[in-house]
C-alpha cells in the first residue's frame, strides 16, 4: 500500500496547488496524464489516480500546509465512523483518504437527483457523533456532502477544531424543509446555483435572516409574485 502511495507521489510532483487570499479556491498548476482532480477547496485540491482506485489524495497549498497534520488528527479521532472517509496516512504535502463513490448534494441539484430525508438525517447523526468526540462540526455545505447509495457521507473535516457555529448546515436544513420540496427533482441551472452561492458568501452574518434570503432566492426560480 505504501508503495502505491510513493508511485502516486511522483505523479503529484508534476502539479502545484496554489492558495489565494479572501477564501478563494486554490488553483492547480501543471499537468499529469494520470492524475484527475476531483475536488477543489480553499486550502487543498483532491486527486484520483487510476492505479490506486481505492484512494484519494488531498494536496495542500504551501499557504495551508500546517493544516495537513491537524486534519489527519481529526480523521484519527473520527476513525470507525461510517459518516466520514478514512485517512490511511500522510505524504509531504498530502493526505491519503479513502476514495468515496457518490455525487455531492450540489451536483444532485444540477442533475435533478432527489435528496431523501435519510441523507439529511445521516448528516445530523454525523454531527452528533462529532460533538460527542469534543469536536465542532463546521463547514458542512452542498459540496461537502455525498449522496452514496441512498445515504449521506460528509467530506472535509478540516474545520472541526474551530470554535463557533457557522450555521451553514442549519440554513441548509431550513431550506430543505421549506424550499426544496418546490424544486425536488428539477435540474437547477448552474448560473442559479452560482448566483445563490455568491450571494450567500457575501452576506453579513450579523443581520442575516434565512427567510428573507429564501424569498430572494425564490425570485430567481419563480420571479416576483404579487
90 and 11 assigned to the same domain: yes
Q: What is the pLDDT of residues 65-95, one digit of tens each?
A: 999 999 999 999 999 999 999 999 999 999 9
**Co-location of 88 and 107 in the same domain:** no
Spatial separation of the C-alpha atoms in residues 27 and 193, rounded to whole Å: 21
**pLDDT surpassing 80 at residue 214:** yes
Residues 39, 82, 64: CA angle, nearest 5 degrees: 35
Residue 97 and residue 13: Cα distance in Å, rounded? 18
Residue 226 pLDDT grade (very low, low, confident, very high; cuts 50, 70, 90): very low
What integer is the mean pLDDT of 100-110?
96
Of 13, 27, 9, 11, the C-alpha closest to 63 is: 27
The boundaries of the domain holding residue 174 are 103-222
User: Do 92 and 108 lie in a common domain?
Assistant: no
What sections of the chain are H helices per DSSP? Answer: 2-12, 67-78, 105-111, 117-132, 168-178, 190-201, 210-222
With vertex at residue 106, the alpha carbon angle to CA 110 and CA 181, rounded to the nearest 5 degrees, is: 75
Mean pLDDT, all residues of the chain: 91
For residues 55 and 120, state if they share a domain: no
Last residue of a domain, one of 98, 130, 157: 98
Q: Do 86 and 107 belong to one domain?
A: no
Dihedral angle over CA of 20, 123, 191, 206, nearest 10:
-70
Q: Which has the minimum average pLDDT: 94-98, 117-121, 204-208?
A: 204-208
pTM: 0.89
Q: What is the pLDDT of residues 29-51, one digit of tens each?
A: 988 888 999 999 899 999 999 99
* Domain finish residue from 50, 72, 98: 98
- Does residue 116 share a domain with residue 58? no
Q: What is the CATH number for 170?
A: 1.10.510
Domain count for the chain, please give it: 2
Residue with cell 499529469: 32
Q: What torsion, rounded to 10 degrees, do the Cα atoms 112, 118, 119, 120 define?
A: 100
124 in helix, strand or coil?
helix
Distance between CA atoms of residues 102 and 94, nearest Å: 22
Domain end marker among 68, 98, 128: 98
State mean pLDDT over 98-113: 96
Amino acid at each position: 500500500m505504501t508503495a502505491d502511495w510513493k508511485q502516486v507521489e511522483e505523479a503529484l510532483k508534476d502539479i502545484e496547488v496554489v492558495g489565494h487570499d479572501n477564501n478563494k479556491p486554490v488553483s492547480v498548476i501543471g499537468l499529469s496524464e494520470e492524475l484527475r482532480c476531483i475536488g477543489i477547496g480553499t486550502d487543498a485540491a483532491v486527486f484520483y489516480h487510476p492505479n490506486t482506485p481505492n484512494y484519494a489524495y488531498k494536496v495542500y497549498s504551501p499557504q495551508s500546509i500546517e493544516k495537513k497534520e491537524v486534519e489527519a488528527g481529526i480523521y484519527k479521532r473520527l476513525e470507525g465512523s461510517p459518516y466520514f472517509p478514512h485517512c490511511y496516512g500522510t505524504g509531504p504535502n498530502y493526505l491519503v483518504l479513502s476514495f468515496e463513490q457518490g455525487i455531492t448534494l450540489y451536483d444532485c441539484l444540477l442533475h435533478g437527483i432527489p435528496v431523501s430525508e435519510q441523507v439529511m438525517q445521516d448528516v445530523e447523526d454525523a454531527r452528533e457523533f462529532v460533538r460527542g468526540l469534543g469536536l465542532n462540526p463546521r463547514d458542512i455545505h452542498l459540496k461537502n456532502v455525498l449522496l452514496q447509495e441512498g445515504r449521506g457521507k460528509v467530506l472535509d473535516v478540516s474545520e472541526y477544531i474551530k470554535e463557533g457555529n457557522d450555521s451553514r448546515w442549519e440554513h441548509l436544513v431550513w431550506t430543505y424543509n421549506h424550499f426544496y420540496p418546490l424544486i425536488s427533482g428539477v435540474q437547477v441551472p448552474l448560473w442559479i446555483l452560482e448566483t445563490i452561492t455568491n450571494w450567500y458568501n457575501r452576506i453579513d452574518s450579523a443581520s442575516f435572516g434565512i427567510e428573507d434570503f429564501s424569498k430572494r432566492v425564490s425570485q430567481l426560480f419563480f420571479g416576483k409574485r404579487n
